[in-house]
């Protein structure tokens, strides 16, 4: 048995959650799971529909983006995953989807404003939307550059990947991550929910204000702070 | 067998209706059921996804919010439930969700106007939206204060909890209640339906008037009045 | 066996299609099926959720709205059904729902404009929205008056119930009918689809024109005219 | 066994995907599959609901639109299929649906602007919306003329059917095609997704720009270019 079997299983299980959660159709998404001690991650193969996916098809890739094991080509977004794993030491999983509402915000090139406690339970800030890449990046090593675009956006906004586990890439779609592949999938579903609610909120009240600071702090701290006690 | 077994079962069954009705994802909601003679209620444990929930995990709490029985921590919203049970003698169940449309109205900080008979069959008034709490309440005993905010809002609007069984907490999400936990769940689903219809109604006709009084009275009385005969 | 067994079965089967088609939640709707030779129709009992419904529970009512057979109370909308059956000799079934998009248009008090061939395949006119009833009608025999409001609306617009098998009652919700109960259910589903598409069409293009006459005629005639050949 | 059995099966399987993908209700759609060597295609029979469909019911039609084999009447849109097969030599399947969002755009008489990479992964251009036909075409051989309207629209915009595999017919609904019937179904689902995202994008940002050229080129080429490597 492959020494990568455990991350293949983690990646497979996490990938299979995406269609169940309504976050993907056909092949529009991918999840990966990393093993830091092995310096490798397992990722969905390219172009295989979720209905046909199996554990054995997961592709093993190192942190430079080179395939180590597997008969299929890895997801075309593999280099974005590789770059983020190599720079962000504490993440264990990454998810990319084209989920409907989050993608609509990405296409709109707007950050998702923080309008309520559903958002504040998970993030203290507006969900950032990285601007579309400049032409040199697009025409260069596109998927690696997508990773840099994500990192640059967080850096410019003074955000840490440990605090903010989700981003929109302008004109493209969302990426999320977390300490495990399961947590990254959870974050994708949370982001889609927040995106839908924020869309509706602005439709219902065009002049709605952002959430006030005291409420942001309270909700985030009861879930994430040193004295956290949250859990519905 | 625990003397609280019957309310554990009531609370469990009612909680399990929420995902079936499309009102919750992951752990975003909770239902409780009270036994007045025992001075205690059963509530969903904190942070357990619905897919993993069992009857035995329900936590028994007294009306001061203290855990009496159970190995898990009760829902983080437990004190809100406790306060409402202690003040509102005739309710048997409480539901909190972050259902999509009702939460969008709560985030919009607007009452839901009464636009049709679907609404009037259940309430004669706009669904109230309590304003966001002031900073002292937020930084104090937050979940107890959420209960007070709900009670204060009804009082200021001259509404009775027996007549109006649903409210939005501004920037947060809906709470509903009823004589039983099942009725409280029903009210949550009704509220979500009303919230979606009101959103669409305003999109279709930005200048739509509220329902006229004669129609409000007629529909509510045929369902709730002394000569009620309603039932589709 | 009851001599009404066949219409009980027709009404039961038609009622059970409503939740499958996503047109009702809980008890928010009702279907009836008439037998002209018996001068009676079968209708859903009042207040029974669809999940608990059985054939034996269907209530048999005459065309004056009086119950002939059955242990349960008939739907609260029974008199509306009775009036329409007594005046419209060629219909075999009636459906009332609070389906989401059609109800939002009814609440908006607007006719649904004919924007495309999906609409024209079924109707050559805007779906009429009867105005809210006047106070005397509301405070009188409300459900009978609802039937008169429907008939008056068609009459004033010069429409025949044989050509236009669906209407919105302003502030309330849709009614549909047809030669059979199954056809009436089909019309309810078609109406909900048309209502959703018309809402979206106006959102996408606020200045969209109604469908032009030649296209209305063509689509309706290929489905309903003397030389009809339609069927996708 | 019929020598057309293989295309009956292809057409049946492709038709049955439509309700599973949420693209049709009742009978509102049809798929066909062609065999070039036999000069014939199999298409859904007219007016049969998807729930009742069987392989044997598929109707075999030649490229002039005449029925060769089958007991049922072919779809009323058969002549549109026949014309496109006879003019476009490299397509193997055609799909027509009234899917909700794509139909709303068709009713709105607007091309769907290219707002993101979900769109660019499949097309480098706005999804074209053919204008409503003129009265002479409508009153003539309507379904053949629908085919000409589609071809004329692509020609006037300088688009090839091999590059652009989807179109909206103004006031009507979408048609898609592809090298196989399965690919044509896939294109229908992609179009519905793109249509919903574009609708939401404009709601969220009324002034959103189209995708920039470098990003359009990059995404399309990584999927379709000579050095293609795409596949999520």
Which residues of D are the active-site residues?
A: 121, 230
Residue C197 to residue D104, Cβ atoms within 8 A: yes
The question of ipTM being above 0.90 is answered as yes
d(CA D154, CA D148): 10
Residue B189 to residue C25, Cβ atoms within 8 A: yes
d(CA B65, CA A72): 56
Q: Would the pLDDT of C232 be above 70?
A: no
**Residues near D182 by beta carbon (within 8 Å), at least 6 away in sequence:** D10, D13, D14, D17, D93
Residues B149/B152/B153/B159 CA torsion (nearest 10 deg): 140
d(CA A189, CA A186): 5
Q: Give Cα separations from C85 to C28, C29, C45, C69, C98 (angstroms).
A: 21, 18, 18, 18, 21
List, for residues D87-112, the tens digit of each pLDDT value. Answer: 999 999 999 999 999 999 999 999 99
pLDDT of amino acid A229: 67
pLDDT of amino acid A232: 64
CA of B230: which chain C residue's CA is closest?
Answer: C76
Q: What are phi and psi of B34, to 5 degrees?
A: -105, 150
List, for residues B101-150, the tens digit of each pLDDT value. Answer: 999 999 999 999 999 999 999 999 999 999 999 999 999 999 999 999 99
Q: What is the mean pLDDT of chain C?
A: 94
d(CA B84, CA A115): 26
- Residue B63 half-sphere exposure toward CB, CA atoms < 13 A: 16
pLDDT of amino acid D229: 66
Q: Is the torsion defined by CA of B192, B196, B201, B202 positive or negative?
A: positive
Contact C133, C146 (CB under 8 A): yes
d(CA A215, CA D225): 50
**Residues near A142 by beta carbon (within 8 Å), at least 6 away in sequence:** D218, D222
**Residues near C212 by beta carbon (within 8 Å), at least 6 away in sequence:** D132, D135, D171
Residue C104 to residue B231, Cβ atoms within 8 A: no
3-class SS shares of chain C: helix, strand, coil, % to 5: 45, 15, 40
* C-chain residues near B203 (CB < 8 A): 104, 199, 203
Q: Would the pLDDT of A223 be above 80?
A: no
CATH numbers and ranges of domains, chain D: 5-224 (3.40.225.10)
Structure tokens of D1?
Answer: 């066994």
Q: What is the mean pLDDT of chain A?
A: 94
Residue A118 to residue B103, Cβ atoms within 8 A: yes
* Burial class (CB within 10 angstroms; exposed 0-12, middle 13-18, buried 19+) of C207: exposed
pLDDT of amino acid D230: 59
Contact D218, A124 (CB under 8 A): no
Q: Would the pLDDT of D227 be above 80?
A: no
Q: Around Cβ B52, how many Cβ atoms within 10 Å? A: 9
Pairing type for strands B166-169 and D59-62 reads unpaired
* B-chain residues near C44 (CB < 8 A): 232
Task: Name which of D220, D97, D218 is nearest D163 in CA terms.
Answer: D220
Q: What is the pTM of this model?
A: 0.96
pLDDT of amino acid A27: 79
Contact D173, D104 (CB under 8 A): no
* Burial class (CB within 10 angstroms; exposed 0-12, middle 13-18, buried 19+) of C122: buried
Contact B61, B76 (CB under 8 A): no
d(CA A176, CA A174): 7
- Sheet strands side by side (includes B40-43): B67-69, B59-62, B40-43, B29-35, B93-97, B174-178, B166-169, B129-130
pLDDT-derived band at D232, boundaries 50, 70, 90: low
Query: Which helix (DSSP H) or strand (DSSP E) does residue B216 occupy?
Result: helix B213-224
Chain C interface, Cβ < 8 Å to B = 25-30, 44-48, 73, 75-77, 96, 98, 100-101, 103-110, 132-133, 135, 138-139, 142, 171-173, 199, 202-203
The distance of D108 to chain C (nearest Cα, Å) reads 5
Stretch among A121-135, A209-223, D179-193 having the lowest mean pLDDT: A209-223
Q: Is the torsion defined by CA of A141, A143, A145, A147 positive or negative?
A: negative
d(CA D95, CA D112): 19
DSSP SS3 for C15: helix
List, for residues D6-48, the tens digit of each pLDDT value. Answer: 999 999 999 999 999 999 988 789 999 999 999 999 999 998 9
Give mean pLDDT, residues D170-191: 97
Query: Which helix (DSSP H) or strand (DSSP E) does residue C97 occupy?
Result: strand C93-97
pLDDT of amino acid D231: 63
Give mean pLDDT, residues D107-123: 96
Which of C21, C203, C208 lies nearest to residue D203, judging by beta carbons? C203
- Sheet strands side by side (includes D129-130): D67-69, D59-62, D40-43, D29-35, D93-97, D174-178, D166-169, D129-130
pLDDT of amino acid C229: 66
**Residues near C191 by beta carbon (within 8 Å), at least 6 away in sequence:** C99, C102, C127, C166, C174, C176
Which segments of B71-118 are extended strands (E)?
93-97
Q: Would the pLDDT of C85 be above 90?
A: yes
Stretch among C49-53, C132-136, C219-223 having the lowest mean pLDDT: C219-223
CA C132 from centre of chain: 17
pLDDT of amino acid C231: 63
Q: Would the pLDDT of B154 be above 90?
A: yes
Residue C196 to residue D100, Cβ atoms within 8 A: yes
The distance of B22 to chain C (nearest Cα, Å) reads 12
CA of D47: which chain C residue's CA is closest?
Answer: C231
Q: Around Cβ C89, how many Cβ atoms within 10 Å? A: 9
pLDDT-derived band at B221, boundaries 50, 70, 90: confident
Q: Give Cα separations from A229 to A220, A221, B54, B60 (angstroms).
A: 11, 9, 21, 18
pLDDT of amino acid B222: 80
d(CA C175, CA C167): 6
Q: Would the pLDDT of D120 be above 90?
A: yes
3-class SS shares of chain D: helix, strand, coil, % to 5: 45, 15, 40
pLDDT-derived band at B220, boundaries 50, 70, 90: confident
Residue B47 to residue A231, Cβ atoms within 8 A: yes
d(CA D196, CA D102): 8
d(CA B217, CA A220): 43
Q: Would the pLDDT of B25 be above 90?
A: no
pLDDT of amino acid C51: 87
d(CA C149, CA C79): 13
Chain B interface, Cβ < 8 Å to A = 25-30, 44-48, 73, 75-77, 96, 98, 100-101, 103-110, 132-133, 135, 138-139, 142, 171-173, 199, 202-203
Tokens 């001259």 found at: B158
Calculate ∠ Cα B176-C23-B199, nearest 5°. 55
List, for residues B185-205, the tens digit of each pLDDT value. Answer: 999 999 999 999 999 999 999
Q: Would the pLDDT of B1 be above 90?
A: no
Q: Give Cα separations from B125 to A130, B106, B120, C155 (angstroms).
A: 44, 16, 8, 34
Q: Is the torsion defined by CA of C106, C111, C112, C117 positive or negative?
A: positive
The distance of B213 to chain C (nearest Cα, Å) reads 9
Quote the percentage of chain C above a pLDDT of 90: 89
Give mean pLDDT, residues B207-211: 95
CA C178 from centre of chain: 8
Q: What is the DSSP letter of A85?
A: H
Query: Which helix (DSSP H) or strand (DSSP E) does residue B34 occupy?
Result: strand B29-35
* B-chain residues near A115 (CB < 8 A): 107, 171
Contact C43, B201 (CB under 8 A): no
pLDDT of amino acid B27: 79
Of C219 and C111, the one with more pLDDT: C111
Give mean pLDDT, residues D55-61: 97
The count of residues in chain B is 232
pLDDT of amino acid B15: 96
Quote the percentage of chain A above a pLDDT of 70: 97
List, for residues C95-144, the tens digit of each pLDDT value. Answer: 999 999 999 999 999 999 999 999 999 999 999 999 999 999 999 999 99
């Amino acid at each position: 048995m492959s020494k990568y079997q455990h991350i293949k299983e983690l990646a497979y299980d996490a990938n299979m959650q995406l269609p169940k959660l309504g976050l993907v159709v056909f092949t529009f998404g991918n999840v990966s799971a990393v093993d830091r001690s092995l310096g490798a991650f397992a990722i969905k193969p390219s172009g295989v529909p979720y209905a046909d996916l199996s554990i054995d098809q997961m592709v093993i890739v190192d942190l430079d983006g080179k395939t180590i094991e597997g008969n299929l080509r890895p997801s075309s977004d593999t280099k974005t995953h590789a770059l983020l794993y190599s720079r962000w030491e504490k993440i264990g999983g990454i998810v990319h989807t084209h989920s409907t509402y989050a993608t609509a915000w990405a296409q709109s090139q707007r950050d998702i404003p923080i309008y309520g406690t559903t958002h504040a339970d998970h993030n203290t800030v507006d969900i950032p939307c990285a601007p579309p890449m400049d032409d040199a990046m697009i025409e260069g090593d596109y998927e690696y550059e997508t990773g840099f675009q994500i990192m640059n956006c967080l850096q410019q906004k003074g955000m840490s990947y440990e605090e903010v586990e989700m981003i929109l890439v302008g004109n493209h779609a969302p990426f999320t991550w977390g300490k495990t592949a399961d947590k990254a999938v959870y974050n994708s579903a949370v982001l889609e929910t927040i995106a839908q609610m924020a869309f509706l909120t602005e439709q219902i009240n065009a002049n709605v204000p952002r959430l006030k600071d005291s409420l942001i702090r309270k909700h985030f701290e009861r879930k994430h702070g040193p004295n956290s006690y949250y859990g519905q």
